[in-house]
Amino acid sequence: MRHRKDHRKLSRTHSHRRALLRNLVTSLIEHERIETTLAKAKEARRVGERMITFAKRGDLSARRHVARYVHGESNVKKLFDTVAPWYETRNGGYTRILKLGRRLGDAGEMALLELVKSSELKEKLRREEEALAKEKAKGGKAAPSRGKGAAKGGAPAEGEAVEGSAEGGEKKGRPEREKKAKPERPGRGLFPGKGGSGGGKAPTRSRQRGKSGE
């Protein structure tokens, strides 16, 4: 008999399993589609749909209940303001699981867990994305017009640059001063017969003593 077998343990302790499901549900709300193993997807679907049901209620108690489980205030806000209105006329079945086959290595069965979107909702979201893209394109076209105005106002600067270049040309036209050759210091040659300066090695002490002895 299947007594006291309400859920899959997923080979984890209670705290580890709860943390795993919290992360999966948070990622599902944030990205609207996640890829995981089939067993994890089935467990995350139960909790995810429960969170959406709380969000459809929309009261303060439901918001606090969801905020205790879902990570991030931005994800809670998205769940209540964006995701919940998608399913106002839908009672359950907010998610879908698509099998992807087995992965290499341990041959674990993979699945795709995603939020269900109707064709009308997809069309509405597509129009919103197109409108945002057009607004961005208009903003990008307005930027070069500023550059044109700056170019018109910058004409005197070009004249100044021309005058500066003319002054530079005059400076270039001036005769350069002749560089005087620096005299070489004596005593830099290695041998007395070379080096041009006539300087050789300084006599050592032994040689000086020999000369003095003579």
User: What is the pTM assigned to this prediction?
Assistant: 0.60
Compute CA distances 66 → 28, 50, 52, 63, whole Å: 14, 9, 9, 5
CA–CA separation, 83 vs 72, rounded Å?
15
**The one-letter amino acid at 186:** P
CA–CA separation, 210 vs 73, rounded Å?
97
Give the chain's mean pLDDT.
79
pLDDT for 28-65, tens place per residue? Answer: 999 999 999 999 999 999 999 999 999 999 999 999 99
**The one-letter amino acid at 38:** L
Characterize 56-69 residue by residue with b for buried, 16 or more Cβ atoms within 10 angstroms of its Cβ, and e for exposed.
beeeeebbebbbeb
CA–CA separation, 73 vs 64, rounded Å?
11
pLDDT for 78-113, tens place per residue? Answer: 999 999 999 998 999 999 999 999 999 999 999 999
Cβ atoms of 142 and 110 within 8 Å: the answer is no
Full set of structural domains in the chain with CATH: 14-116 (3.90.1030.10)
Q: Name the most confidently modeled range: 59-63, 125-129, 181-185.
A: 59-63
Cβ atoms of 188 and 198 within 8 Å: the answer is no
